């Protein structure tokens, strides 16, 4: 049977043979008792990679983000965020439920905010104003099309945060892609974040796992909230082994995903039926427009040729590159796009 070329998301990857082997050999212990040797090491390793004090392994990016917001806020606080952010659109309004916070969505440029607009959203201190306490940035910005925060912008927003006594949370589900695309050391991100949530289960190709990072003091609270949210796991060392393997083997190769996304964008830009600016493709996520708006027809065309993509708003389709997409799959996708004759 022909394998589907699955470009719906980078979350669809399955462990490679080498990753399964690493998982199979993992030593395990009860992590709620702090006794899983692999997880303890992974938390130290990832905190060191970002130059942060501590990390807490969590089952998902959503839990990482929500714990980050929980430890930085009090009920009735307000968090400034881009209107396309995952936290705002795809976490079931969990911030309201778990932390009692309000989100203040701003229209960024393809998911990226600038310091000026963030400054204008900081509330004054009247009794009737919500209290702005956190700025949340998503890097890379998924719904923005995998866009990266320029480090200067992060620095400016950080300075603004510090001068207004605000904290900075970064949703770094795909921070690895950002670091590779921008040629930056991961510490360049860690130094500006009070809390940073990262995922091993997206472009890095691990089956499960994320981490929330921050100061030792904040992470002590984070560990408690992880437990009360039901995220305390027991012998989860095999997940640490998968993440470790991904960190060793799957970071540098992200540049190939980025190159392939850009090549598909260039091919789509030549078609009269699609539109995309290849210069907007910075990492592994490609958003393109179907000129006549008929995404169903275009998705169906790709699907009939064994290629899965997903609709991503009116007239827009998302294609995401990852571990299981080689140049061969890319070539087939490009040819299929070139042969599209519209609806």
Ligand X SMILES: Cc1ncc(COP(=O)(O)O)c(C=O)c1O
Binding piece for ligand X, criterion CB under 6 A, among 54-62, 182-190, 294-302, 311-319: 54-62
Q: Is 318 in the site for ligand X (CB under 6 A)?
A: no
- Binding ligand X (rule: CB under 6 A), the pick from 16, 40, 60, 114 is 60
**311 Ramachandran zone, left/alpha/beta (phi>0; psi -120 to 50):** beta
Q: Is 210 in the site for ligand X (CB under 6 A)?
A: yes
- Position closest to ligand X via CB: 61
Q: Is 153 in the site for ligand X (CB under 6 A)?
A: no
* Choice between 137 and 290, CB closer to ligand X: 137
- Binding ligand X (rule: CB under 6 A), the pick from 6, 36, 77, 171 is 171
Binding piece for ligand X, criterion CB under 6 A, among 60-68, 108-116, 227-235, 300-308: 60-68
- Binding ligand X (rule: CB under 6 A), the pick from 138, 244, 282, 329 is 138
Question: What is the distance, to the nearest Å, from the Cα of residue 113 to the centroid of all Cα atoms in its chain?
Answer: 16
Phi, psi at 211, each rounded to 5°: -145, 140
Q: Would you mind telling me the total number of residues written for the chain in this entry?
A: 343
- Binding ligand X (rule: CB under 6 A), the pick from 15, 38, 55, 61 is 61
| Helical spans, DSSP H, in the chain | 17-24, 37-49, 61-72, 86-89, 94, 115-121, 151-163, 175-182, 187-190, 216-228, 237-249, 254-269, 295-304, 327-338
- DSSP 8-state code for residue 3: P
CB of 210 to ligand X, least distance (A): 6
Q: Is 173 in the site for ligand X (CB under 6 A)?
A: yes
HSE-up of residue 94 (Cα within 13 Å, Cβ side): 17
**CB atoms near residue 217 (< 10 Å):** 11
- By the criterion CB under 6 A, which residues form the site for ligand X? 11, 60-62, 65, 86, 138, 142, 171, 173, 199, 201, 210
């Amino acid at each position: 049977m022909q394998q589907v070329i699955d470009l719906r998301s980078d979350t669809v990857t399955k462990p490679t043979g080498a990753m399964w082997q690493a998982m199979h050999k993992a030593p395990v212990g009860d992590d709620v008792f702090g006794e899983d040797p692999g997880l303890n090491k992974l938390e130290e390793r990832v905190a060191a990679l970002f130059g942060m004090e501590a990390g807490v392994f969590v089952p998902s990016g959503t839990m990482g983000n929500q714990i980050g917001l929980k430890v930085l806020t009090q009920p009735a606080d307000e968090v400034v965020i881009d209107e396309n952010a995952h936290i705002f659109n795809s976490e079931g309004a969990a911030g309201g439920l778990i932390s009692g916070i309000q989100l203040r969505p701003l229209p960024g440029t393809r998911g990226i905010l600038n310091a000026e607009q963030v400054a204008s959203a900081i509330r004054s201190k009247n009794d009737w104003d919500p209290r702005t306490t956190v700025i949340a940035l998503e890097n890379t910005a998924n719904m923005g099309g995998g866009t990266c925060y320029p480090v200067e912008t992060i620095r400016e927003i950080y300075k603004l945060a510090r001068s207004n006594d605000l904290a900075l949370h970064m949703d770094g589900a795909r921070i690895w892609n950002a670091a590779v695309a921008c040629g930056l050391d991961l510490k360049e991100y860690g130094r500006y974040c009070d809390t940073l949530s990262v995922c091993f289960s997206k472009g890095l190709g691990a089956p499960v796992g994320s981490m929330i990072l921050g100061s030792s003091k904040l992470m002590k609270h984070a560990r408690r909230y992880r437990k009360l949210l039901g995220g305390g796991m027991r012998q989860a060392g095999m997940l640490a082994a998968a993440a470790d393997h991904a960190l060793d083997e799957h970071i540098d190769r992200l540049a190939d995903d980025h190159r392939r996304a850009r090549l598909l964008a260039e091919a789509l830009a030549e078609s009269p039926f699609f539109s995309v600016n290849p210069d907007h493709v910075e990492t592994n996520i490609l958003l393109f427009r179907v000129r006549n708006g008929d995404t169903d027809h275009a998705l169906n065309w790709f699907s009939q040729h064994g290629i899965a993509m997903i609709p991503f708003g009116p007239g827009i389709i998302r294609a995401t590159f990852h571990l299981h997409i080689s140049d061969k799959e890319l070539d087939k996708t490009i040819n299929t796009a070139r042969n599209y004759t519209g609806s």
